[in-house]
């Protein structure tokens, strides 16, 4: 009787393809040689990742994202409530997915129907506008916010401040969504108008709120009174963050923080046109080329030095058309090549990005491991090299889909690497434990990479507004000096050749199917 039930469950799951542990339906060889298999595999990724995006990672009333959810270390089912908070960064990913669904993107439309996408856009803009009314001191920017059944308030640690980096991400997401709407839904003039005012307001207030002068943009601004209007407010650098973030007080990085700089460069209300050029002067010192030596091959690959060289730093490639410029495209490809060789030559089954920590018991203290990456090509020391994450492939999907799929597949094949909500946050390379979480950062960033990013829509609108050529011109001006002779064009990508020891058991709600048969 029992085996009959197991058997019929098995048949049912095959018939309906309800197998959340689908990694084992594919081999590395298939994914490296058969584009049809890749397509089928990615469709399954969409299906299971969307369960996170649509069931767990969303506050349905406000339409806002919820940062993530802890999973039970054994069952893989939600342990406690989802994180009742989010930030502009998660919102940027969500907006981009919605935008691409409306743009008829092959994979995005498997997540959201047209009706769902438009409904979410309406809910979100209602919420953004309400938040702006309630807390005018933020000037249209969004801090980390608590989200409780439709009610959105600043989190306790952001009642006097607002970060620039995440808002640069949100700005370009809203901008790209407007571009999509203008292209495919020009009859939605109300939505177009509201999202346009939303992103314009950020740009219009960016100097008042974030600009320190002399090309310096604050990483975090202190707001005197979040309830008072921008005009009646006072803004200054929030000093405590300079040490907290172990990063400078100013947003001078050539990574994801650059999205905010571009917003200001193009759309801030500069009185003096020479002032805005100082942003690029302030950023110059962090633009460094570094040659990574590929052990065994005795060859070099030139990359742009990273902070930790965490894949998280690559966020900007998803939102702006960097890859339309040849130097930037070469840099992206080279960086991703280095990620693959670093893993391969060090016997790692996957790669690195800033991530929630691994735990063994549900009660274990949870940390956030920022310092994950590759020290040979980073500015500051890398601390964690035991925990790999599927989202380390997020922009590898822009560089080379086949290679990215291989690594992604290799990582989710690790013990408990998949759950009923798609990929698991991270897997320890010795196979003993995982980071039992599902978050926007570790999952939907990668999905956006698989979708190809939304930067083509950004490019389209920049072009209409006459800023596209300027974008390319500035990129060329700033990067060509150090980056025009990159080594490594002759070095291929590396494919994974290491697997995880299967020490930890799969989650009971998402176990490898052969285990069921054997029982
Ligand atoms: C932003 O500033 C521009 C230029 O002054 C203006 O046309 C636009 O209406 C402003 N938008 C918002 C939302 O304040
Ligand atoms: C994987 O490849 C690297 C270098 O390409 C090699 O040093 C290593 O021995 C290989 N590992 C396995 C398990 O084959
Ligand atoms: C995370 O994994 C490492 C490597 O296996 C291990 O030493 C550490 O104890 C794990 N952390 C927790 C909290 O279980």
Query: Is the C-beta atom of 499 inside 6 A of ligand 2?
Result: no
Beta strands 355-356 and 368-369 are antiparallel
> What is the mean predicted confidence (pLDDT) over 15-29?
87
Q: Is the pLDDT of residue 247 over 60?
A: no
The residue whose CB lies within 8 Å of the most ligand 3 atoms, and thus the one to mutate among 70, 358, 387, is 358
Mean pLDDT of the chain: 94
Ligand nearest to the CA of 197: 1
Percent of the chain residues past pLDDT 70, beyond the cut = 94
* Alpha-carbon gap, residue 46 to 111, rounded angstroms: 6
Q: Is the pLDDT of residue 512 over 50?
A: yes
Among 50-59, 237-246, 345-354, which stretch is predicted with the lowest mean pLDDT? 237-246
Q: Is the pLDDT of residue 1 over 50?
A: no
Q: Which pLDDT score is estimated for 517?
A: 41
Q: Which residue has the higher pLDDT, 16 or 344?
A: 344
Ligand 3 center to 367 CA (angstroms):
12
> What is the mean predicted confidence (pLDDT) over 268-275?
95
Q: Which residue has the higher pLDDT, 248 or 262?
A: 262
Q: Is the pLDDT of residue 518 over 90?
A: no
* Cα 9 → chain centroid: 36
Q: Which pLDDT score is estimated for 513?
A: 79
Q: Which pLDDT score is estimated for 17?
A: 55
Smallest CA-to-CA distance from 199 within 119, 253, 144, 139 is with 139
* Alpha-carbon gap, residue 331 to 304, rounded angstroms: 7
Distances (CA, A) of 265 to 262, 269, 278, 501: 5, 9, 10, 49
Strands (E), 337-385: 355-356, 368-369
Place of tokens 């339409």: 63
Smallest CA-to-CA distance from 267 within 190, 167, 191, 182 is with 167
Ligand 1 center to 87 CA (angstroms):
24
Q: Convert the pLDDT of each residue in 427-441 to its tens digit.
A: 999 999 999 999 999
CA count, 13 A, side-chain hemisphere, 476:
9
The residue whose CB lies within 8 Å of the most ligand 1 atoms, and thus the one to mutate among 139, 196, 204, is 204
Q: Which pLDDT score is estimated for 18?
A: 85
Q: Convert the pLDDT of each residue in 110-148 to its tens digit.
A: 999 999 999 999 999 999 999 999 999 999 999 999 999
* Alpha-carbon gap, residue 263 to 261, rounded angstroms: 5
Q: Which pLDDT score is estimated for 239?
A: 79
Query: Is the C-beta atom of 323 inside 6 A of ligand 3?
Result: no
Query: Is the C-beta atom of 432 inside 6 A of ligand 3?
Result: yes
Q: Is the pLDDT of residue 14 over 50?
A: no
* Alpha-carbon gap, residue 314 to 351, rounded angstroms: 14
Nearest CA to ligand 2 atom 1: 497
Dihedral sign of CA atoms 56, 121, 168, 401 in order: positive
Q: Is the pLDDT of residue 6 over 60?
A: no
Q: Convert the pLDDT of each residue in 471-482 to its tens digit.
A: 999 999 999 999
Distances (CA, A) of 105 to 45, 98, 99, 514: 15, 10, 9, 34
DSSP sequence for 150-167: TEEEE-GGGTTEEESHHH
CA count, 13 A, side-chain hemisphere, 37:
17
Q: Is the pLDDT of residue 41 over 90?
A: yes
| 242 band by pLDDT with thresholds 50, 70 and 90 | confident
> What is the mean predicted confidence (pLDDT) over 411-416?
98
Q: Convert the pLDDT of each residue in 144-190 to its tens digit.
A: 999 999 999 999 999 999 999 999 999 999 999 999 999 999 999 99
CA count, 13 A, side-chain hemisphere, 407:
31
Closest atom of ligand 2 to 295 CA is 4
């Amino acid at each position: 009787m029992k085996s009959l039930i197991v058997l019929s469950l098995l048949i049912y799951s095959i018939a309906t393809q309800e197998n959340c542990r689908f990694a084992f339906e594919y081999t590395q060889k298939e994914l490296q040689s058969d584009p049809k298999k890749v397509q089928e595999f990615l469709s399954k990724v969409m299906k299971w990742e969307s369960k996170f995006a649509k069931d767990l990672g969303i506050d349905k009333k406000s339409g806002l994202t919820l940062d993530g959810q802890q999973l039970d270390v054994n069952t893989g089912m939600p342990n406690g409530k989802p994180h009742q908070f989010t930030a502009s960064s998660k919102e940027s990913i969500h907006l981009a997915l919605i935008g691409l669904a409306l743009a008829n993107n092959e994979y995005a439309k498997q997540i959201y129907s047209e009706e769902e996408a438009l409904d979410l856009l309406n809910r979100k803009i209602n919420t953004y506008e309400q938040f702006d009314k309630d807390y005018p001191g933020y000037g249209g920017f969004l801090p980390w916010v608590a989200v409780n059944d439709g009610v959105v308030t600043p989190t306790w640690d952001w009642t006097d401040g607002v970060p620039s980096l995440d808002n640069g991400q949100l700005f370009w997401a809203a901008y790209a969504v407007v571009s999509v709407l203008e292209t495919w839904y020009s009859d939605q003039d109300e939505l177009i108008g509201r999202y346009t005012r939303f992103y314009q307001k950020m740009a219009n207030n960016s100097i008042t709120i974030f600009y320190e002068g002399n090309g310096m943009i604050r990483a975090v601004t202190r707001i005197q009174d979040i309830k008072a209007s921008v005009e009646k407010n006072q803004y200054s650098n929030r000093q405590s963050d300079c040490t907290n973030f172990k990063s400078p007080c100013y947003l001078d990085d050539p990574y994801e923080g650059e999205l905010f700089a571009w917003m200001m460069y193009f759309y801030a209300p500069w009185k003096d046109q020479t002032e805005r050029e100082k942003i690029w002067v302030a950023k110059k010192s962090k633009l460094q080329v570094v040659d990574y030596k590929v052990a065994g091959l005795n060859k070099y690959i030139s990359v742009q030095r990273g902070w930790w060289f965490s894949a998280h730093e690559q966020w900007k490639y998803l939102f702006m058309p960097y890859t339309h410029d040849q130097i930037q495209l070469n840099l992206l490809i080279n960086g991703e090549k280095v990620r693959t060789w670093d893993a391969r030559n060090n016997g790692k089954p996957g790669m690195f990005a800033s991530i929630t920590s691994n735990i063994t018991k549900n009660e274990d203290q949870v940390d956030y491991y920022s310092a994950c990456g590759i020290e040979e090509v980073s500015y500051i020391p890398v601390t964690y090299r035991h925990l790999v994450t599927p989202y380390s492939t997020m922009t590898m999907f822009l560089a080379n889909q086949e290679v990215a799929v291989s690594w992604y597949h290799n990582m989710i094949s690790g013990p408990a690497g998949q759950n009923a909500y798609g990929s698991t946050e991270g897997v320890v390379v010795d196979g003993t434990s995982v980071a039992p979480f599902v978050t926007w950062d570790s999952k939907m960033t990668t999905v956006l990479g698989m979708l190809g990013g939304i930067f083509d829509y950004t490019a389209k609108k920049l072009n209409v507004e006459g800023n596209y050529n300027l974008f390319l011109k500035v990129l060329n001006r700033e990067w060509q000096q150090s980056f025009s002779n990159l080594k490594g064009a002759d070095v291929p990508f590396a494919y994974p050749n290491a697997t995880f020891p299967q020490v930890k058991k799969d989650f009971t709600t998402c176990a490898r199917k052969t285990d069921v048969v054997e029982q």
